[in-house]
């Protein structure tokens, strides 16, 4: 990845927005990103739009909210990795020289999708009858059996993310008081050992990034640091001996290892160089596993790292600095772009009370339906 920078970012706070349409959410995020970049929609040469649950043609309809300038608009969908995959396409559009300024927009109203669901499960997709919480609960209980993981470790991750989210104005869950491990453990059980506070909420929202050339970022905002994209990697699962076809919810753990290693190689960096990391923490057990799979610690060391506070703000490498999916929320389409929003602010030194000191490199990791993994590495130039 060469000569690609994040020119601007914007969000509509994640939450339950029954009174707002997809266009309302997207318009606010998109205008915020354009304003942050110092550009107008006339400067945008192409758009990649990510959504999962919105109706057909919502991408191009929503882009009409910004103007009718004839630009190409492409809808991207890749389950939870939708926003990340759309961002990747925009980066390649700039890196190839095809465009100089590209908008990446993600939006969704998962609350409406849940209301419409409830139809019977096709026998051909029997695994769909097991909800994600159950899959990840199985993942958690297996780790507890093999590694001695305790519910308290999962609760510590969730508490950290709730407390980070309380410092993020765009976070869906805003705790009024500091969240403790005890409070997380006492929350309503979803699928043992996962409580509601160890699980991401349903919600609505939008996020946007404007991607362009570093020299444009310097010209538009000479006073602030330029955030460049060092690596963009997307992989799907690989067949190997003993491969389990368990449906699209929980993919092979190896996928995060392979994708992150490819991204590290592309950026000529290693996990030890990361100052902050965003992960797909739809459930606390995921974040715990990704500590090891992304190389932030050695295999079997995650629990000890949690106990030391290695991944908290002020720790060795801060993880889920904006609250992650657990606190910031996970509407679907915009989630990966929310990670880009947070990482960009952190690298520019604009994250306020949750700012990671001297942050220079950040990694964004998203899973799409368990069978897709996307990793981006951003850096302060």
What is the maximal distance between C-alpha atoms in the chain? 58
> What is the tens place of the pLDDT at every residue in 218-229?
999 999 999 999
Q: Which residue has the tokens 């991207």?
A: 76
For residue 168, pLDDT over 90 is answered with yes
Which tokens hold the place of 212? 């362009």
Is the Cβ–Cβ distance between 374 and 340 less than 8 Å? Answer: no
More confident residue, 272 or 116: 272
Nearest to 320 by CA among 165, 206, 107, 88: 165
Considering Cα of 318, then 319, then 323, then 328, what sign does the dihedral take?
positive
Is the Cβ–Cβ distance between 105 and 99 less than 8 Å? Answer: no
User: What's the pLDDT score for residue 288?
Assistant: 98
User: What's the pLDDT score for residue 18?
Assistant: 95
Buried-state track 316-341, b at ≥16 Cβ within 10 A, e below 16: bbbbbbbbbbbbbbbbbbbbbbbbbb
Stretch 240-265: mean pLDDT? 80
Q: Cα 360 vs. chain centroid, distance in angstroms?
A: 19
Stretch 84-93: mean pLDDT? 98
User: What's the pLDDT score for residue 233?
Assistant: 98
As a whole number of angstroms, the distance between CA 29 and CA 62 comes to 12
Percent of the chain with pLDDT over 90: 87
Buried-state track 351-365, b at ≥16 Cβ within 10 A, e below 16: beebbbeebbbbbbb
For residue 123, pLDDT over 70 is answered with no
* Banded pLDDT at 344 (limits 50, 70, 90): very high
User: What's the pLDDT score for residue 60?
Assistant: 97
Q: Compute the C-alpha angle 234/237/239, nearest 5°.
A: 145
Residues 6+ apart with CB under 8 A from 193: 137, 140, 141, 144, 151, 154
As a whole number of angstroms, the distance between CA 84 and CA 330 comes to 13
* Banded pLDDT at 147 (limits 50, 70, 90): very high
> Mean pLDDT over all residues of the chain?
94
User: What's the pLDDT score for residue 132?
Assistant: 84
Q: How many other β-carbons are positioned within 10 Å of the β-carbon of residue 123? A: 7
Which tokens hold the place of 70? 């004839």
User: What's the pLDDT score for residue 141?
Assistant: 96
* Banded pLDDT at 120 (limits 50, 70, 90): low
User: What is each CA distance from 12 to 57, 117, 225, in whole angstroms?
Assistant: 21, 25, 24
Percent of the chain with pLDDT over 70: 93
Three-state DSSP at 343 gives helix
User: What's the pLDDT score for residue 180?
Assistant: 98
* Banded pLDDT at 374 (limits 50, 70, 90): very high
Stretch 348-370: mean pLDDT? 96
Is the Cβ–Cβ distance between 221 and 99 less than 8 Å? Answer: no
First to last CA, the chain: 14
User: What's the pLDDT score for residue 286?
Assistant: 96
Torsion of CA 182, 184, 189, 194, to 10 degrees: -110
User: What's the pLDDT score for residue 125?
Assistant: 58
In 187-251, where does DSSP find H-type helix? 214-220
User: What's the pLDDT score for residue 37?
Assistant: 98
Which tokens hold the place of 156? 């510590």
Q: Which residue has the tokens 């960009």?
A: 344
Which tokens hold the place of 217? 């970022």
Stretch 31-55: mean pLDDT? 97
As a whole number of angstroms, the distance between CA 367 and CA 122 comes to 24
For residue 2, pLDDT over 90 is answered with no
In the chain, where does DSSP find H-type helix? 22-37, 58-63, 82-95, 110-116, 132-147, 151-165, 181-186, 214-220, 254-267, 284-293, 302-308, 324-327, 335-348
User: What's the pLDDT score for residue 128?
Assistant: 56
The CATH code of the domain at 5-113+202-220 is 3.40.47.10
Stretch 4-14: mean pLDDT? 98
Q: Does the pTM exceed 0.75?
A: yes
Stretch 210-215: mean pLDDT? 98
For residue 127, pLDDT over 90 is answered with no
Which tokens hold the place of 292? 């090891």
Taking only Cα atoms into account, the Rg of the chain, rounded to an integer number of angstroms, comes to 19
For residue 245, pLDDT over 90 is answered with no
As a whole number of angstroms, the distance between CA 190 and CA 48 comes to 35
Stretch 142-168: mean pLDDT? 97
């Amino acid at each position: 990845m060469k000569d690609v920078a994040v020119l601007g970012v914007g969000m509509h706070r994640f939450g339950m927005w029954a009174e707002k349409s997809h266009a309302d959410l997207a318009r606010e995020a998109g205008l915020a990103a354009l304003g942050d970049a110092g550009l107008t929609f006339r400067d945008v040469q192409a758009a990649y739009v990510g959504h999962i649950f919105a109706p057909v043609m919502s991408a191009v309809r929503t882009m009409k909210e910004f103007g009718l300038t004839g630009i190409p608009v492409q809808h991207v969908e890749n389950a939870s990795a939708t926003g990340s995959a759309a961002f990747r396409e925009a980066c390649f559009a700039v890196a190839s020289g095809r465009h100089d300024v590209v908008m990446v927009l993600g939006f969704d109203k998962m609350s409406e999708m849940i209301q419409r669901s409830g139809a019977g499960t096709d026998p051909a997709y029997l695994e769909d009858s097991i909800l994600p919480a159950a899959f990840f609960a199985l993942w958690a209980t297996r780790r507890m059996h093999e590694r001695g993981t305790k519910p308290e470790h999962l609760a510590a991750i969730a508490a950290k993310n709730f407390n980070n989210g309380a410092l993020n104005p765009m976070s869906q869950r805003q705790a009024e008081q500091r969240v403790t491990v005890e409070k997380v453990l006492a929350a309503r059980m979803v699928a043992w050992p996962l409580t509601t506070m160890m699980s991401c909420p349903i919600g609505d929202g939008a996020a946007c990034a404007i991607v362009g050339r570093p020299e444009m970022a310097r010209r538009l905002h000479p006073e602030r640091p330029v955030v460049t994209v060092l690596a963009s990697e997307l992989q799907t699962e690989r067949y190997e001996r003993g491969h389990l076809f368990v449906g699209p919810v929980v993919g092979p753990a190896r996928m995060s290892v392979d994708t992150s290693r490819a991204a590290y190689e592309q950026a000529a960096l290693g996990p030890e160089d990361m100052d902050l990391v965003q992960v797909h923490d739809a459930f606390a057990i995921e974040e715990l596993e990704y500590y090891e799979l992304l190389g932030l610690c050695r295999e079997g060391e995650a629990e000890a790292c949690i106990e030391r506070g290695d991944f908290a703000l002020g720790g060795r490498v801060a993880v889920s600095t904006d609250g992650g999916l657990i606190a910031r929320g996970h509407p679907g389409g915009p989630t990966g772009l929310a990670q880009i929003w947070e990482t960009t602010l952190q690298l520019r030194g604009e994250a306020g009370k949750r700012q990671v000191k001297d942050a220079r490199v950040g990694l964004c990791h998203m899973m799409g339906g368990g069978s897709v993994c996307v990793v981006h590495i951003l850096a302060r130039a």
